Amino acid sequence: MFGFKKKEKPVEKEFRSVVTGVAKDLEKVEDEVFSKGFLGDGISIIPTDNKFYAPISGTLSSVFPTGHAYGITGEDGIEVLIHIGIDTVQLEGKGFNLQVKQDDIVKQGDLLVICDLDTISSAGYKTDTIVIVTNIDEFPIDKISKDGENVIAKETVILKKK
């Protein structure tokens, strides 16, 4: 009535690339848990750089001590999983230099981890980095980056909320 409106906190509708690299269709990832969409929907990126960033702002609801996986819960309740590499949990943290801890509040573009991609590759693991929305029923997304497209960390929009 008087124009007094509770100011809402800004919530990203665009997910920025977690790493510089080449986009890859999730369906092409060599892990059925991801390629068949069992955990949600999103995109994969084959990294060409070693720094990985938060695609959205939120709370780190999960940080694996091995450094290979992160869960971010956005202010609106969206749940995003970032998984670096295929079966890289087997490395037990080798090659992953964590920059954050669980329950930290991150802003879109904050550094999460620095990875030694050579360590991962030379151990026989793929570096495909998966970014998925796990509660896709509540937060449907559009895939913006296409298979084979170059993406730039913190700049390229890879996903958008519908």
**pLDDT for 95-111, tens place per residue?**
999 999 999 999 999 99
Q: Mean of the per-residue pLDDT values for the chain?
A: 93
Over the stretch 108-124, which tens digit does the pLDDT of each residue have? 999 999 999 999 999 99
Over the stretch 14-59, which tens digit does the pLDDT of each residue have? 999 999 999 999 999 999 999 999 999 999 999 999 999 999 999 9
Question: CA-based angle 125:62:136, to the nearest 5?
Answer: 85
Q: What is the rounded distance in angstroms from the CA atom of residue 128 to the CA atom of residue 21?
A: 10
Q: What are the catalytic residues?
A: 83
What is the pTM for the complete model shown? 0.92
Q: Three-state DSSP class for 42?
A: strand
